[in-house]
Amino acid sequence: MTGEFGTPGDVPRTKDIVNGAFGLVKEYGKLVSELPWDDYDYHMAFPGFRQQIKRHRESLVEFMDKCCQLLPEKRRTAFKTGAGTLTEQQRSAVLDAVDSLLENVDGLLDNLKGKRLNATDQLSLTFGSELQRSSFAVDGGGCVLRPQLTFEHPVDNSPTPFCPVYYDEKGERHVGQPGIHPFAELIKNMSMPEEQLIRRVETPYLPLAQCPLRFVDATVDLEEVVALLLKEKEIAVDLEHHSFYSYQGFTCLMQISTRSEDILIDCLKLRSLMHLLAPVFLNPNILKVLHGAREDIRWLQKDFGLYLVNFFDTGIALQTLHMPHGLAFAVDHFCQVKLDKKYQTADWRIRPIPAEMVTYARQDTHFLLYVYDRLKTLLLNSEGRASIGNLLVHVLNESRRLSLEIYEKPQLDPDASYKIALGRSLGGLSSVQMQVAREIFNWRDAIAREVDDSPPAVLRLSAVLAIATKLPTSANDVLKCCTPVSMVVRTNVTRLVQIVKDSVGDDAITKNSESDVKVEPSSRETGPMPRIVGVHCPMTGTLPSIERRPAPVFLKEETAALRSTEPSAWFNAMRNVAAVLRNKRLPTVALPGQEVVEKLMRAKTAEKQLLDALEKREKYDTTRTLSDGKKYGFSRHGEDEEEIAVREEEDTAAENEDGGEKDGKAEASGEDGSKRSGMKLEEKAVALRQVYGTGSANRKRARMEKNKRYGGS
């Protein structure tokens, strides 16, 4: 691959691309969750917040528009620039685009990982070989064959209870009863071997590169492995299961590890012979070590009729020790080996198995026996608790209880299962739409049992909800709701259309049509402006559109021409009410602290009046001083200021004498005259203080200046 990246080594890894993309998505989702949704309307009142929301909204619409442009031209939907909301059609287009893109990515990744090999490639590759790009079926014509078609006993997907077929220690075949564990008594009454309860030296694991690997796909090899395992004291077991293109799923690979060897058993090829392992799994002297064995126990019962007697679950042990209970953590913690879990959900049906998947499979059991040794030591060294006693015995008892579980087929409750699966997505649907959702969901389960596919492989839950919401009435509309379209849906699309029509019913369609389209009588004279009455088109479609039939003839109402301009009685009444409300004076309510505010305002007004009085007084002193200078023939610049002050004092004395001769007039003038006289004396005193200053020494100097001036004359 050349071009933008240059050499093949420059091509970025898928993991890096996915981590980078999802890292941004997670960060964006985290920021969105921190938005103030409770006070969203309040924050929208602030221009800054509103502008940021608008900017992000426009960027999201632009991104969704780019996604829709990747769809075929007939299915594209244009987004209006600057639109604040999405229509139902645009929302559906975005969901379809994302589903289609993810389906394309899944297909491409399948090709890259070798999951889609044509028949020639599958026959030419050897077990554990590296998959080369040249062997990929890039045209998508090749696919993995359905292994269940080759099973000796057909798969039973009927809703009848699971009836176990099992083999005893001697290899004899038995048919059990539904709901009964055939080895329950053996498991309950089994006594633990003494060597499992005592402390023992830990056995180090062999390096993966130095440990022999055996692949078993023949009867002779399987018999040889059984004889080998019967000599062991502990074995590690794990299963690889496939459940997407199968209703109940099936086991594809079994991994078994001893202290010195790793074994991989092809369960697809040896499915009818896996019961040969019954003497090993039922032997109470052989400890079977598994991790998270709940599903493994059920798969062994369902596919091979095998049951576990005396096993140890390392997941339970980790939980008992309050440690993370993942296998990757245990191997990393005790063995310092990082497990790559990218093939955990791989398609294990493909044959031959690629080398990378082989390495992944053997790692699941290669380190497990050493992890068991370390956990056993920790359990023995830990103090027992009053509630559970010895921790090692507690883990063994919990594992024993887990091995008593039995497999049961998936059951469907026609009236409740769809509600559990769809959950809150059913909110807002009408009763008709709920009925359609129920019928489509139940049909999906029935057809999945019939073709032996998982329900999600037949029809995704999002498609079930889309059909229930939009109520499509044509095959093309149904297929648009089911993107990506499986072969089962494409083959049964007419059945889906009929389910929608049957769920609604012809009577409901006719009744809805008659109630929705009606004539509104009018007493006015008809005019030239017709309009359609009673037509409503919600986003999800209307009931009259369920059944294809000739379009109804909509009746028209003719509006009368406008002849009178006199306001109606209702309009006049509303206008009067509005006028009264405008003129009505709203009652005032005193706020807390109103009295304090009023006092502060009055003090502020008084302070302002005092400042104005002082300012006027200063102007008066300046004017009076200048007038005195003109009267005695000197100016403020040509005469000593002390002379001016002495003359002002003389004027004050003269005014006092005049005031004594006019006592009668002063008494008659009343209080106002005395106030004016007092104001003048105060003003003179202020003028003297400005010239001589304050204090007794300055007053003495002023008297001496006065006596000198008048005594010398």
Q: Note whether residue 292 is domain-resident.
A: yes
pLDDT beyond 70 at 290: yes
Please tell me whether residues 313 and 170 are part of one structural domain. yes
| Per-residue pLDDT band at 5 (split at 50, 70, 90) | very low
Give me the residue label for tokens 């409901």: 508
Q: Note whether residue 280 is domain-resident.
A: yes
Strand partners, 531: 557
What pLDDT score was predicted for residue 510?
47
Q: Note whether residue 301 is domain-resident.
A: yes
pLDDT beyond 70 at 507: no
3-state secondary structure 434-460: HHHHHHHHHHHHHHHHHHCCCHHHHCC
Please tell me whether residues 383 and 428 are part of one structural domain. no
Please tell me whether residues 626 and 696 are part of one structural domain. yes
Please tell me whether residues 260 and 300 are part of one structural domain. yes
Please tell me whether residues 431 and 390 are part of one structural domain. no
Whichever domain contains 375, its CATH number is 3.30.420.10
pLDDT beyond 60 at 183: yes
How far apart CA 412 and CA 395 sit, in angstroms, is 34
Phi, psi dihedrals of residue 64, rounded to the nearest 5°: -65, -35
Last residue of a domain, one of 487, 504, 521: 504
Residue 177 vs residue 710, higher pLDDT? 177
Residue 416 vs residue 705, higher pLDDT? 416
Q: Note whether residue 577 is domain-resident.
A: no
- Counting Cα atoms < 13 Å in the Cβ hemisphere of 387 gives 1
Structure tokens at 355: 């080398």
| Per-residue pLDDT band at 142 (split at 50, 70, 90) | very low
What pLDDT score was predicted for residue 386?
59
What pLDDT score was predicted for residue 1?
40
Structure tokens at 202: 């830990």
Last residue of a domain, one of 373, 403, 433: 403
pLDDT beyond 90 at 316: yes
Q: Note whether residue 665 is domain-resident.
A: no
What pLDDT score was predicted for residue 652?
60
pLDDT beyond 90 at 626: no
Structure tokens at 128: 């554990």
pLDDT beyond 80 at 395: yes
Report helix, strand or coil for 235: strand
pLDDT beyond 60 at 300: yes
Please tell me whether residues 311 and 398 are part of one structural domain. yes
| Per-residue pLDDT band at 121 (split at 50, 70, 90) | very low
Q: What's the rounded mean pLDDT across residues 21-41?
A: 78
Please tell me whether residues 369 and 450 are part of one structural domain. no
C-alpha distance across the termini of the chain, in Å: 126
Ranked by mean pLDDT, which of 57-66, 311-320, 689-698 comes out on top?
311-320
pLDDT beyond 60 at 676: no
How far apart CA 622 and CA 9 sit, in angstroms, is 98
Tell me the one-letter amino acid at 307. Answer: Y
Give me the residue label for tokens 């093309």: 476
146-182 pLDDT, tens digit each: 888 888 888 999 999 999 999 988 888 999 999 999 9
Report helix, strand or coil for 63: helix
Residue 122 vs residue 318, higher pLDDT? 318
What pLDDT score was predicted for residue 48?
85
Q: What's the rounded mean pLDDT across residues 91-109?
A: 70
Please tell me whether residues 456 and 478 are part of one structural domain. yes
Q: In whole angstroms, how far apart are CA 150 and each of 147, 272, 381, 399?
A: 6, 11, 51, 35
Least confident of 401-415, 592-606, 659-673, 686-700: 659-673
| Per-residue pLDDT band at 650 (split at 50, 70, 90) | low
CA nearest 88: which of 425, 540, 542? 540
Q: Note whether residue 607 is domain-resident.
A: yes
Structure tokens at 709: 């001036």
Q: Note whether residue 321 is domain-resident.
A: yes
What pLDDT score was predicted for residue 587?
64
Spatial neighbors of 57 by CB under 8 A, at least 6 apart, are: 84
Residue 94 vs residue 195, higher pLDDT? 195
How far apart CA 251 and CA 297 sit, in angstroms, is 11
Give me the residue label for tokens 């809150």: 424
Residue 185 vs residue 39, higher pLDDT? 185
Please tell me whether residues 385 and 466 are part of one structural domain. no
Last residue of a domain, one of 89, 115, 141: 115
Q: What's the rounded mean pLDDT across residues 69-73?
A: 70
Q: Report yes or no on whether pTM surpasses 0.75.
A: no
Calculate the average pLDDT of the chain. Answer: 77
Please tell me whether residues 333 and 230 are part of one structural domain. yes
Q: Note whether residue 434 is domain-resident.
A: yes
Q: What's the rounded mean pLDDT across residues 299-323?
A: 94
Q: What's the rounded mean pLDDT across residues 594-598?
A: 74
The total of other beta-carbon atoms located within 10 Å of residue 119's CB is: 11
Number of structural domains the chain divides into: 4
Work out whether the CA dihedral 396, 397, 400, 405 comes out positive or negative. Answer: negative
Structure tokens at 322: 């309050």
pLDDT beyond 80 at 203: yes
Report helix, strand or coil for 215: strand
Please tell me whether residues 635 and 495 are part of one structural domain. no
Residues spanned by the domain of 443: 417-504
Whichever domain contains 456, its CATH number is 1.10.150.80
Contact 153, 136 (CB under 8 A): no
Q: In whole angstroms, how far apart are CA 385 and each of 242, 321, 375, 377, 391?
A: 40, 12, 17, 17, 8
Spatial neighbors of 490 by CB under 8 A, at least 6 apart, are: 479
449-503 pLDDT, tens digit each: 999 999 999 999 999 999 999 999 999 999 999 988 999 999 999 999 999 999 8
How far apart CA 110 and CA 100 sit, in angstroms, is 15
How far apart CA 437 and CA 415 sit, in angstroms, is 11
Q: What's the rounded mean pLDDT across residues 524-533?
A: 41
Tell me the one-letter amino acid at 294. Answer: R
Q: What's the rounded mean pLDDT across residues 28-42?
A: 78
Question: Cis ω on the peptide bond leading into residue 352 (within 30° of 0)?
Answer: yes
pLDDT beyond 80 at 187: yes
The total of other beta-carbon atoms located within 10 Å of residue 666's CB is: 14
Phi, psi dihedrals of residue 128, rounded to the nearest 5°: 75, 10
Please tell me whether residues 424 and 356 are part of one structural domain. no
- Which DSSP category does 456 fall into? H
What pLDDT score was predicted for residue 529?
42
Angle 189-192-194 from CA coordinates, rounded to 5°: 145
